[in-house]
Chain A
């Protein structure tokens, strides 16, 4: 499981919905990555130095390819979206802790994904399915321009929420959760901060364990710069203060352990 910087070949890149891209990379890293882990993708334009952290969205069946699904928002990800199959990219990985499937095994699980937090939940759903875990998926989108929805549908019962009400429940994943009265022992969530805060509250009220995947600005991705910290309820073992490194101890945390 050692981290490394690798030159990888793009096997395929396509647009899933406006501004959302799906990128398949050919890499031996696919053999070992866990759901919830991420890689750092380096822009080629030398004026853009820092890695872009992108979660593993999926891995192909014989584990030779790894999929990233991302929003082309800023300069670096827009540049990334221009590359085609056959071209090479530099990535650093595997990064982060990822989900502990053993801690989830046997528990009725809720998978919550909001916006660009949806992609990592797909790989998690696939691995949980393999582990025989019973789960329900709720995905939150801005509008009817959804992505990856059918792939979740194939694995687990999947509910949708849209902010504009054009599909499924009008509102957030929490609104969809309340509307559909889904009961579970445990929740796994990735999405924007307001959603994660709501999931944390919901889980606390329901006396349910929740694993949430956090996002923070990163420079090194490997725990060296201390750029990516998040506040913790207890003194962290590595830093010896009340914060912890999202890139190393995270990005997946038990909700009760972090202050959002």
Chain B
């Protein structure tokens, strides 16, 4: 049985990875799950310089999911390369580095620093809903997205995955813009913008007022968007949003994703991704499939 996929030119031993920001740099979960079982580890968003992030409370639970407004706190790309990339080099898995920035120049600066490292691919977060200085704007205007993609592609020595925001009117248009800008792949969905109010204290629960909504509750929206995006473009798609089980992952593959990512559920069950890999094998077995590419709808 073959689970390996060639994703934008990079061989993944299986199409299962984590979603950025929910797995640290992999190190935090290394004693709770076997990183060698994963197709790739996607690291937490990293910028050119250290970012403080938002005030707390930054996270809260909502029905079937959670809200987060971390604000992309990160130690900066230099520390990241020295510490986090070096750690991941000890594992037999691909490394996708999630990149954030306030300006196109900042994205490019990070990418250039990563070019000579062991990173296998870049995932560009143009869609974080929690950062005021405009990262979301990159991902909400098709023209800006196309130009941003072009600028990053011009300096990137590794495949570039543009991570799309679901907080747009037409996900098709955004997928097409990323493709037109030269993206090697796209990933979606990032979090939906949500809000929770504490009715007893009559206050917003999160210090940031709004936060990114993720977890099992968002899955139907994510499946629909992955379907629309992957049928609009030729480049491969990483599907995510609420994946908790192998069955969920198969649903994304059937919707048109070539790879899948598990986010919030890592917090609930650190072995979710391992179980998804095992469950996909079991699904293929009972469907009489030999190759992962047979998981598709006709």
Q: Which residues of A contact B (CB under 8 A)?
A: 2-5, 42, 46-51, 76, 92, 216-230, 238-243, 248
A229 touches B58 (CB 8 A): yes
Q: A48-B61, A219-B264, A227-B56 are in contact. List 13 more A-B contacts (CB 8 A).
A: A42-B268, A49-B61, A50-B267, A50-B268, A51-B268, A217-B56, A220-B24, A222-B24, A224-B28, A224-B266, A240-B75, A241-B50, A241-B53
Closest Cβ–Cβ distance, residue A138 to chain B (whole Å):
28
Q: Which residues of B contact A (CB under 8 A)?
A: 21-24, 28-29, 31-32, 44, 50-53, 56-61, 63-66, 68, 70, 73, 75-76, 79, 215-216, 264-271
A219 touches B52 (CB 8 A): no
> Considering residues B44, B76, B267, B271, which has the most beta carbons from chain A within 10 angstroms of its beta carbon?
B267
Main secondary structure of the interface of A (DSSP, over half): loop
B56 touches A242 (CB 8 A): no
A219 touches B64 (CB 8 A): no
Report the separation of the CA atoms of residues A86 and B59 in the bound assembly, to the nearest whole angstrom. 33
Closest Cβ–Cβ distance, residue A214 to chain B (whole Å):
11
B267 touches A219 (CB 8 A): yes
B76 touches A240 (CB 8 A): yes
Whether A49 touches B70, Cβ cut-off 8 Å, given contacts A2-B31, A4-B32, A224-B23, is: no
A226 touches B64 (CB 8 A): no
Main secondary structure of the interface of B (DSSP, over half): loop
Partner of A228 from the list B32, B56, B61, B64 (CB cut-off 8 Å) is B56
B268 touches A226 (CB 8 A): no
Q: Which residue of A lies closest to B244 (CB)?
A: A46
Whether A46 touches B23, Cβ cut-off 8 Å, given contacts A222-B29, A225-B59, A242-B52, is: no
Closest Cβ–Cβ distance, residue A94 to chain B (whole Å):
12
A–B pairs, 11, beta carbons within 8 Å = A46-B64, A49-B61, A49-B264, A217-B57, A220-B266, A224-B267, A228-B59, A229-B56, A239-B75, A241-B50, A243-B52
By a CB distance below 8 angstroms, the chain B residues around A49 are: 61, 64-66, 215-216, 264-265, 267-268
By a CB distance below 8 angstroms, the chain B residues around A243 are: 52-53, 73
Partner of A227 from the list B23, B51, B59, B271 (CB cut-off 8 Å) is B59
Whether A217 touches B271, Cβ cut-off 8 Å, given contacts A224-B28, A240-B76, is: no
Closest Cβ–Cβ distance, residue A41 to chain B (whole Å):
12
By a CB distance below 8 angstroms, the chain A residues around B51 are: 241
A216 touches B57 (CB 8 A): yes
B63 touches A227 (CB 8 A): no
Partner of B75 from the list A221, A225, A230, A241 (CB cut-off 8 Å) is A241
By a CB distance below 8 angstroms, the chain A residues around B58 are: 217, 226-229
Report the separation of the CA atoms of residues A2 and B50 in the bound assembly, to the nearest whole angstrom. 29
Q: Which residue of A lies closest to B23 (CB)?
A: A224
A217 touches B73 (CB 8 A): no
B70 touches A227 (CB 8 A): yes
Report the separation of the CA atoms of residues A5 and B269 in the bound assembly, to the nearest whole angstrom. 8
Report the separation of the CA atoms of residues A243 and B51 in the bound assembly, to the nearest whole angstrom. 10
Report the separation of the CA atoms of residues A70 and B264 in the bound assembly, to the nearest whole angstrom. 26
In the A-B complex, the 8 residue pairs with the closest CB atoms: A224-B24, A227-B59, A240-B75, A224-B28, A219-B59, A217-B57, A240-B50, A223-B28
Q: Which residue of B lies closest to A74 (CB)?
A: B61
Q: Which residue of B lies closest to A40 (CB)?
A: B267
B269 touches A3 (CB 8 A): no
Partner of B59 from the list A47, A218, A241 (CB cut-off 8 Å) is A218
Q: Which residue of B lies closest to A246 (CB)?
A: B56
Q: Which residue of A lies closest to B28 (CB)?
A: A224
Closest Cβ–Cβ distance, residue A193 to chain B (whole Å):
12
Q: Which residue of B lies closest to A236 (CB)?
A: B75
